[in-house]
Chain A
Amino acid sequence: SQQGEEDPQALSIQEGENATMNCSYKTSINNLQWYRQNSGRGLVHLILIRSNEREKHSGRLRVTLDTSKKSSSLLITASRAADTASYFCATDAGSGGSNYKLTFGKGTLLTVNP
């Protein structure tokens, strides 16, 4: 069953604008990860945020985590055409589940128009 669900399914913005994608999940987690996938390629890890963290930055990326609402957001600032890709959140199974398994959402397709 899907643990993480991204919202929106698709997002189209102009270059230079900010893009925000959201992820909701159902059960407790140890950490949440965000990945990017360019068309026809594999996924690339972007950022990992632990359950005891509320916010994390990496370059133009900002991730927040609200464990009380079981949700996370990924903000890409000053977007570029090269940011066009699908973005996925992935969650582990928390303390009650497998130590190895990640569950991915269905992704948000971001299109950045030049």
Chain B
Amino acid sequence: DVKVTQSSRYLVKRTGEKVFLECVQDMDHENMFWYRQDPGLGLRLIYFSYDVKMKEKGDIPEGYSVSREKKERFSLILESASTNQTSMYLCASSPRGGLGHQPQHFGDGTRLSIL
């Protein structure tokens, strides 16, 4: 069965820290995504990657960077954590499809609190 694993369910960090969120998928998917989910705002795309070492900015990339050195792993980096980055972070992956999109498979999320 399809599996997307996020390294932590809950994480507490301090303002100014560099924070790494890790995501691993076992489906050999080309595409991987990072979203954040906030009450009243829904899911917003931070970054996505369509191949190893390739990345594109989503809707809210400011304050974040990503790394995709291997196909199965996609890391989200908060360069200097701030309290407004407290949120639920969701990782997803999907296979490369034709026109239109294949379903995305999600991990269970990391609830990140920045104090």
Contact = CB atoms under 8 A, between A and B. Distances in A.
Partners in one complex: yes
Interface of chain A, helix or strand or loop or mixed? loop
A103 B50 CA distance: 16
Given A42-B107, A105-B42, A107-B42, A100 B48 contact: yes
Given A42-B4, A45-B104, A106-B40, A100 B109 contact: no
A44 interface: yes
A48 B99 CA distance: 13
Interface of A: 1-2, 29-31, 33, 40-45, 48, 50-51, 88, 90, 92, 95, 98-107
A48 B109 CA distance: 23
A59 B85 CA distance: 39
B4 A98 contact: no
A31 B56 contact: no
Interface of B: 4, 31, 35, 40-43, 45, 48, 50, 56, 58-59, 90, 92, 99-101, 103-109, 111
A44 B101 contact: no
A33 B101 CA distance: 9
B98 to A, nearest CB: 9
Contacts of A31: 100-101
Nearest to A9: B40
B99 A30 contact: yes
B57 to A, nearest CB: 10
Given A101-B58, A106-B41, 6 more contacts: A1-B59, A33-B101, A40-B109, A42-B90, A45-B105, A101-B48
Contacts of A45: 103-105
Contacts of B42: 2, 88, 104-107
